[in-house]
Chain A
Amino acid sequence: MHKKTAFSFPDEVLEHVFSFIQSDKDRNSVSMVCKSWYEIERWCRRKVFVGNCYAVSPRMVIKRFPEIRSIELKGKPHFADFNLVPDGWGGYVFPWIVEMAGAVPWLEEIKLKRMVVTDESLELIAKSFKNFKALVLSSCEGFSTDGLAAIAASCKNLKELDLRDCDVDDLSGHLLSHFPDTYTSLVSLNISCLGSDEVSFSTLERLVCRCTNLRTLRLNRAVPLDKIANILRRAPQLVDFGTGTYAADLRPDSYSDLAGAFSSCKELRSLSGFWDVVPDYLPAIYPVCSKLTSLNLSYATIQSPELIKLVSHCPNLQRLLVLDYIEDSGLEVLASSCKNLQELRVFPSDPFGVEPNVSLTEQGLVAVSSGCPKLQSVLYFCRRMSNEALVTVAKNCPNFTRFRLCIIEPRTADYQTLEPLDVGFGAIVQYCKDLQRLSLSGLLTDRVFEYIGTYAKKLEMLSVAFAGDSDLGLHHVLSGCESLRKLEIRDCPFGDKALLANAAKLETMRSLWMSSCAVSFRACKLLGQKMPRLNVEVIDERGPPDSRPESCPVDKLYIYRTVAGSRFDMPPFVWTMEDDPSLQLS
């Protein structure tokens, strides 16, 4: 009796075929075709992405995928970026490193986001993975330059060390000097978040010199402008460069030196840094502007005229990050100069000022939406908005995938009609059928959630603050948004009913965050009891929730699906609602 049909291939063939399938989603589908495909797939999967480090245990991951070379983990909820998650909540990477150190010695790549990394973890990485190639830490904390030094000193094949927006304890340990003289494999180095004043420039220059494959170099603020020219000359092959402080006394020779150095970089496509910009030195980058695709000026406190000049030199710009100093007038120039623009982020220069300090309004956004047909991703901070503008933007840009609008004052109405902005955001979700990410602001009623539930069928992530009138709002979203994976809510009058009525939905999502809402402790307990595959975490620094009446709203609530059960590393201000098997439906 043949077990295999005439159509089954040898495992090696299938493995070869699977090697062309890179996306996680497709890999997951492949693994569900049949048992043998599951087995073959799991042995040849090389990359794993875990969107919530508490959704699964490291042991489970390694057991299923013993041959991974790359792992990506995310820890804290997104609102941790804004100090809404108390320190000590969790997201420790150490247990993962320990498991992998033993079982996956050929691991090459670790990417972490919003996790707590310690020097101990870094030292363990340095010691355990002989072929370690890439460490990308994004918004991580808990480690110092000592830990990084261990990586630099031990990982002979390191190609990438990328510290994005990390909180590093800078012990001035001369990180770069820990790379051995024989080390040449660096391709990407991002130390822009390091605060140390003591960067040894000669060490940096020697490092840059001998690492001829260097493509990305993002320096920290401490590197002065007069050192940049030397570095660029030693690395004319750079594609992505981040300056340090872009300020110096203006001297003709240093200016021409800098301009010359930039012109020697024919491959440069992305620039960032630009702290403390002195406008006189900006034209030094003009030689590379025509080929630039990405420009991050979000730390550059230069005014609109200089920004306009700069932007008009960059016709191929695809990505621009800038402060609101650019003003509506600058955005209009952007709209006419940069027809390939895909992503725009405008940050506030004075977020706490009540009066606007610059003339940046909804008009700038409308202008860009009108002039840049490829615009897909927007993050825009401003002080006023109108439904009319939003409808115009929606109609101009039906290809939006990410739209995040932050009107700085909470609950700001349409400045023209004084109405809520429901209709405006409604237009966004209606016209932008591929919208994946949306952040709301301004005065919003339950109506906007009705629109979102009705139209935003591809929406994966929604951020809500100071919006809505009742549970109906939350219900619309949970019942209507089929693709929803992440929902984060703060300061909204959403309570128990919508949450409990849509409990099953929560298992189809990665996570739900609700803070300063109206969800009672009783409802949290109920949810925890009924849904064993959800972790329902109550975060409350006032003390144990059972020291207050059950009807009392909890301060913060974080719910996420998991196959790993409750976690063991909770701090004293986090409580997980226990499962109660007797209450579960079969």
Chain B
Amino acid sequence: MEGGLVLLGGGNGGGGGSSGVSTTESAVLSKVEVVSEACSYPAETELELGLGLSLGGGGGGSTGKTKAANSSWGECGRILTAKDFPSVVSQRTNNGGPSSVTVSGTKRAAESVSHDSGSPTGVSQVVGWPPIRAYRMNSLVNQAKAQRGDEGDSGIGEKDKPKDALKKKLIYNGKQTSSATVNEKGYLGFVKVNMDGIPIGRKVDLNAHSSYESLAQALEDMFLRSANSLEKEPLTMASKLLDGSSEFVLTYEDKEGDWMLVGDVPWRMFVRSVRRLRIMRTSEANGLAPRFNESNDTQRSKPI
């Protein structure tokens, strides 16, 4: 997922440590005994696979949740399991702090999200949960805005309670796209990105980024990195997208339908007004005015 990957060990205090991840063999066996005869899961230390193979290699009594040694997880992060979390009672009180329940699996880059004092993170951090189609989510979001009318720029409003979150100013143009940007964390932050010369567009999650550099890096990863090369493109490619020194520039369509060069306005303002992105050939980008420039004929440097 754009910006949201397997949960890495860092950044989350809750319930972690290396305990509680592997189930002991005795726990496995006790489970097996309870199972009815319909189950033929062998409670052996090394599971005989139907194909005549066994995984071996120190898999030991683990039930597959962990591999051999914890050290093998070092580079790839750890999948948190049910044992890492306290069971959650749904009607827990809003204790004003970030929830201690973090959820494993795809999660937006934690570091980019600031924890507002009044809003627990809850489900809003997890990609694709609750399982509501983007189409429907969008309608909900757009409806809330339409109902309230355009009350002007009410800003991010950290003090609002979560249930008022839908009532904040949202991007709504009368156009119902399934990638409407919502400026509140936890909502759809996906915008379409197209790159000149590449027929298939992608979507990027703006909520997963807190800066232009991070966004540009993600886009560079998405469009410019080839699968077979293990070496990443030089890091400077990302900044080239932003300063106009590469063959491509990053542009965006704002809510008024105008195409702008990315990078001139403060990040949060950009997130609020962007409708979609386009990685445009610099040669075609002439005439695009940076948003706050006095004169319209200031142009980005042309490609060499």
Q: Which residues of A contact B (CB under 8 A)?
A: 79, 81-84, 86-88, 116, 118, 139, 141-142, 165, 167, 170, 193-197, 220-222, 275-276, 298-299, 301, 347-357, 381, 383-384, 406-413, 415, 418, 420, 439, 443, 445-447, 450, 453-454, 463, 465-472, 475-476, 479-480, 490-491, 493-498, 500-504, 515-518, 520, 522-523, 526, 530, 541-544, 547-549, 551-553, 555, 571-573, 575, 585
Stretch at the interface among B60-68, B246-254, B261-269, B292-300: B60-68
Distance between Cα atoms of A136 and B2 in the complex (Å): 30
**Residues in chain B within 8 A of chain A (CB atoms):** 1-2, 5-7, 23, 28, 31-32, 34-36, 38-41, 47-53, 55, 59, 63-68, 72-73, 75-76, 79, 81-83, 85, 87-92, 94, 99, 101, 103-106, 120, 122-124, 126-137, 139-140, 143-144, 146-147, 161-163, 165-166, 174-179, 186-187, 190, 199-203, 221, 225-228, 230
Assembly CA distance A410 to B131 (angstroms): 11
Q: Is the CB of B225 within 8 A of A195?
A: no
With most chain B CB atoms within 10 A of its CB, the pick from A86, A116, A409 is A409
Q: Smallest Cβ distance from A230 to chain B, in angstroms?
A: 22
Known: A79-B128, A410-B88. 5 other contacts (CB 8 A): A84-B127, A194-B176, A351-B140, A450-B39, A475-B39
Chain B neighbourhood of A476, CB < 8 A:
35, 39, 41
Decide: A352 near B122, CB < 8 A? Known: A412-B89, A472-B31.
Answer: yes
Cross-chain contact A88 with B200 (CB below 8 angstroms)? yes
Beyond A299-B139, A493-B79, whether A82 also contacts B128 by CB under 8 A is yes
B298 to chain A, nearest CB (A): 31
> CB within 8 A of B64: which of A353, A384, A447, A497?
A497
**Within the assembled complex, what's the spacing in Å between the Cα atoms of A466 and B179?**
26
List the A side residues contacting B177 at CB < 8 Å: 167, 170, 195
Is the Cβ of B64 less than 8 Å from the Cβ of A494?
Answer: yes
State in angstroms the CA–CA spacing of A356 and B91 once bound together: 8
Contact B36 A491 (CB under 8 A): no
Q: How far is B5's CA from A557's CA once the two chains are assembled, in angstroms?
A: 14
- The answer to whether B163 and A357 touch across the interface, beta carbons within 8 angstroms, is yes
Counting chain A CB atoms within 10 Å of each CB, which of B36, B63, B135, B162 scores highest? Answer: B63
- What residue of chain A has the Cβ atom nearest to residue B222's Cβ? A541
List 16 contacting pairs A-B, 8 Å CB cutoff, sorted by A: A82-B129, A84-B128, A87-B201, A116-B200, A170-B177, A195-B175, A298-B136, A299-B143, A351-B123, A355-B163, A384-B91, A469-B63, A470-B23, A475-B41, A495-B63, A501-B49
B21 to A, closest residue via Cβ? A493
Is B132 a contact of A348 with CB atoms below 8 Å?
A: yes
Tell whether, in the assembled complex, residue A523 and residue B203 are in contact, meaning their CB atoms are under 8 Å apart.
Answer: no
Task: Give the distance in Å from the alpha carbon of A140 to the alpha carbon of B68 in the complex.
Answer: 43
CA distance A465 to B129 in the complex (A): 9
Contact A552 B72 (CB under 8 A): yes
A197–B257 CA distance with the chains assembled, in angstroms: 14
Give the docked Cα–Cα distance between A521 and B139 (Å). 39
Asked whether, in the complex, the Cβ of A549 is within 8 Å of the Cβ of B75, the reply is yes
Q: How far is the CB of B32 from chain A (nearest CB, A)?
A: 7
**Contact B87–A413 (Cβ < 8 Å):** yes
Contact A408 B64 (CB under 8 A): no
Shortest Cβ distance from residue B142 to the other chain A in the assembled complex, whole angstroms:
8
Interface contact A83-B51, CB-CB below 8 Å: no
Residues from chain B with Cβ under 8 Å of A501 in the complex: 41, 47-50
**Docked-complex contact B91 and A415, CB < 8 angstroms:** yes
Expressed in whole angstroms, the minimum distance between the Cβ of A148 and any Cβ of chain B is 16
CA distance A409 to B165 in the complex (A): 17
Contact B174 A518 (CB under 8 A): no
> Which one, B82, B105, B139, contacts A445 given CB within 8 A?
B82
**A79 to B133 alpha-carbon distance, docked (Å):** 9
In the bound complex, CA of A490 to CA of B81 (Å)? 12
Q: Which residue of B lies closest to A451 (CB)?
A: B36
Give which listed residue, B40, B131, B199, contacts A406 with CB less than 8 A. Answer: B131
Q: Which of A141, A479, A500, A552 contacts B40 (CB 8 A)?
A: A479
Q: Which residues of A contact B143 (CB under 8 A)?
A: 275-276, 299, 301
Indicate if the CB atoms of A500 and B53 lie closer than 8 Å: yes
In the assembly, what is the distance between CA of A445 and CA of B103, in Å?
A: 16
- A522 vs B65: C-alpha distance in the bound complex, in angstroms? 14
Q: Which residues of B contact A470 (CB under 8 A)?
A: 23, 28, 31, 63-65
Decide: A409 near B123, CB < 8 A? Known: A453-B39, A502-B50, A541-B5. Answer: yes
Whether A415 contacts B89 in the complex (CB less than 8 A), given A349-B140, A493-B79, comes out as yes
Residue pair A83, B166 in contact (C-beta under 8 Å): no
Cβ contacts under 8 Å, B136 to chain A = 165, 298-299, 347
Contacts of A167 in B (CB 8 A): 134-135, 177-179
What is the bound-complex CA distance between A493 and B105, given in angstroms? 10
Check B82 against A468 for contact (C-beta < 8 Å): yes
Contacts of B49 in A (CB 8 A): 497, 500-501, 503
The 8 Å CB contact of A407, one of B55, B90, B103, B166, is B90
Separation of A585 and B59 alpha carbons in the complex (Å)? 24
Instruction: Report whether B88 and A411 are in contact in the complex, using a CB–CB cutoff of 8 Å.
Output: yes
Residues of B within 8 A of A553 (CB): 6, 76, 79
B225: which A residues are within 8 A, CB to CB? 543, 572
Pairwise interchain contact A498-B87, C-beta atoms closer than 8 A: no
Q: Name the residue on B nearest A468 (C-beta).
A: B82
- Decide: A409 and B122 in contact? CB cutoff 8 A: yes
Asked if residues B122 and A446 are in contact (CB atoms below 8 Å), the reply is no
Whether A195 and B81, one on each chain, are in contact in the complex, defined by CB atoms closer than 8 angstroms, is no
C-alpha gap A439/B132 in the complex (Å): 13
Given A170-B175, A195-B175: A354 and B200 within 8 A (CB)? no
Query: A261: shortest Cβ distance to chain B, in Å?
Result: 24
**Distance, CA A541 to CA B225, complexed state (A):** 11
The CA-CA distance from A412 to B91 in the complex, in Å, is: 9
Given A355-B94, A500-B49, verify A83-B134 contact (CB < 8 Å): yes
Closest chain A residue, CB of each to CB of B59: A497
Residues of B within 8 A of A490 (CB): 105-106, 128
Asked whether B132 lies within 8 Å of A347 as measured between CB atoms, the reply is yes
Determine whether the beta carbon of B81 is less than 8 Å from that of A469.
yes
User: Using Cβ atoms and an 8 Å threshold, which residues of chain B touch A498?
Assistant: 64
Which of B79, B92, B135, B146 touches A516 (beta carbons < 8 Å)? Answer: B79
> Quick check: A496 and B82 within 8 Å, CB to CB?
no
Interchain CB contact under 8 A, A413 and B88: yes
Q: A87 — which chain B residues lie within 8 A by C-beta? A: 200-203
State A541–B146 Cα separation when bound (angstroms): 36
Q: For B91, what are the chain A residues with a Cβ–Cβ distance below 8 Å?
A: 356, 383-384, 415
A269 to chain B, nearest CB (A): 23
How many angstroms from the CA of A196 to the CA of B67 in the assembled complex?
53
Nearest CB of chain A from residue B275's CB, rounded to whole Å: 12
Contacts of A116 on B, CB cut-off 8 Å?
Answer: 200
How far is A346 from B73 in the complex, measured between Cα atoms in Å? 41
A82 touches B88 (CB 8 A): no
